[in-house]
A = this chain, B = another copy of it.
Amino acid sequence: MKIALLGGTGPQGRGLALRWALAGVDVVVGSRQHEKGKRIAEELVERLGDSPGKITGMSNAEAVAEADEFVVLATPFAGHQPTLESLKDGLKGKILVDVVVPLAEDNAKKFAPPPEGSATEQAQAILGDDTPVVGAVHNVSAYVLDQVDTPINCDVLICGNKKDAKDRVMPLVEKLGVKVYNAGLAVSARAIEHMTAILIRLNSSKVTPFRHAGIKIWAEDE
């Protein structure tokens, strides 16, 4: 399996690239500049040594072309719409896994959704019927992702309007070592993405004695 990871040069993208490579997934890190993608990939390879999955780097458009099925979008929200619009044609027939959270640029504790209601819904609106969008991994902090020797101790809620695409994405996300739950249609991204802002708020609280908070789904046994 070879996936593209656009915005793979940012902190969250790097952690995802490392964890997927360790799980045996080949990862093509994309960046706006081919050279930057290549350089970051080399840094990640240096950190991991000989990992089960290979990490390479190139431009976003080249990375999309390399992906056999999944393209993961992990840019800052400012790059969400322009990246998707510029890559729309190349994404046809692939599944977009959108991990972007729209936070206010001057205040990460504030959810600042686009008119569509969430990043996931915006992506689906831009890409149309040719590319199913699945929102995922919104609530796992970049710090937690980066600590690759420590299991991720929170859960992932995924959502999207195409059930078959969610069914395909679920095992990919499970490779990160997390429990994954189908949270319903893309509209659920409004709650899930928003929760990231709330978690960032908890992390910055003087009262709450922790950091890098995440969500777990608790349930009574049958």
Contact = CB atoms under 8 A, between A and B. Distances in A.
Contacts of A205: 182
B209 A217 contact: no
* A-side interface mostly: mixed
Interface string A181-207: 111100110111011011101110101
Interface residues of A, number: 40
A39 interface: no
A214 interface: yes
B153 A218 contact: yes
A218 B216 contact: yes
B198 A109 contact: no
B194 A190 contact: yes
Contacts of A208: 181-182, 219
A211 interface: yes
A207 B158 CA distance: 14
A211 B217 CA distance: 11
A116 to B, nearest CB: 15
State the 3 A-B residue pairs at the shortest beta-carbon distance, nearest first.
A210-B219, A191-B194, A213-B219
Interface of A: 109, 111, 144, 153-154, 157, 181-184, 187-188, 190-192, 194-195, 197-199, 201-203, 205, 207-222
14 contacts: A111-B187, A181-B208, A184-B197, A184-B198, A188-B201, A191-B191, A208-B219, A210-B219, A211-B219, A211-B220, A214-B219, A215-B215, A216-B216, A216-B217
